[in-house]
Structure 1
Amino acid sequence: MAKYLILYRADKTMNEQMSGSTPEEMKAGMDAWNAWAGKAGSAIVDFGNPTNPVDDAGGGQPVGGYSILEATDTDALDQILEGHPHAAQGGTIAIYEIMPMPGM
């Protein structure tokens, strides 16, 4: 099975999003993520964490977090990501296949 690095991008940094949210909004957001995680099940290798840019020399939308998922192929991965709360909340998701290191 292939592993994929999932990067969650949004117009605001995670700190900006969290500082502008009420406790009820944060709980609702986490409930949505936990519901998705329950659906994704064993495909989640690493649920991930929020991130905050230190040096975003590339510009564009900041990466607000990441996950590592495992799937047989990109079609299966698309099914796992279907209805993902980050996309439902207006963010974008970038997907990178994690390639095995040659000779390792």
Structure 2
Amino acid sequence: MAKFLYVYHGSGKMPTSDAERKAMTDAWTGWFGKLGSAVVDPGNPVGMSKTVMPGGKIENNGGSNPTGGYSIIEARDIDDAAEKAKGCPMLAMPNCNVEIAPIINMMG
């Protein structure tokens, strides 16, 4: 099995009420539960990014496609990884998506 990086993109807003937080946590826990042992690292949400450009210029604009978080998932191939991503709770939010990339093991 290969490992894949899921990068969650979009402007999903963090929940503000206890009920919203519980609903979000339950959605992610349920999805990870369905994926089972394929979840290598459930990851975490991430904060606003900065981009370091060639020449050292730093842009503080959140990036061209803001990252909301990441996970590492094991799958047979990228098509299997894409199928697994279809149940991601991030996809229920407007203007959000999951980018999938194979992790290439360079050290072994």
For structure 1, the 5+ residue unaligned runs are none
What is the TM-score of this pair, normalised by structure 1?
0.82
Equivalent AA in structure 1 for residue 80 of structure 2: A
> What are the residue-to-residue correspondences of 1:37-76 with 2, within 5 Å?
37-56=32-51, 57=59, 59-76=63-80
Work out whether residues 11 and 61 of structure 1, in 8 Å CA contact, stay in contact via their aligned partners in 2.
no
Q: What is the Cα-based RMSD across aligned positions, in Å?
A: 1.9
Q: Distance in 2 between matches of 1:23 and 1:34?
A: 16
> What are the residue-to-residue correspondences of 1:78-93 with 2, within 5 Å?
78-90=82-94, 91-93=96-98
Residue 96 of structure 1 is matched in structure 2 by: 101
| Count of residue pairs the alignment pairs up | 98
Query: Which structure shows the bigger proportion of residues in helix conformation?
Result: 1
Q: Secondary structure at the match of 1:49?
A: strand
Residue 35 of structure 1 is matched in structure 2 by: 30
**Per-residue deviation at 1:23?**
1.7
Query: Which structure shows the bigger proportion of residues in strand conformation?
Result: 2
Larger CA Rg, structure 1 vs 2: 2
What is the TM-score of this pair, normalised by structure 2?
0.79
Equivalent AA in structure 1 for residue 46 of structure 2: T
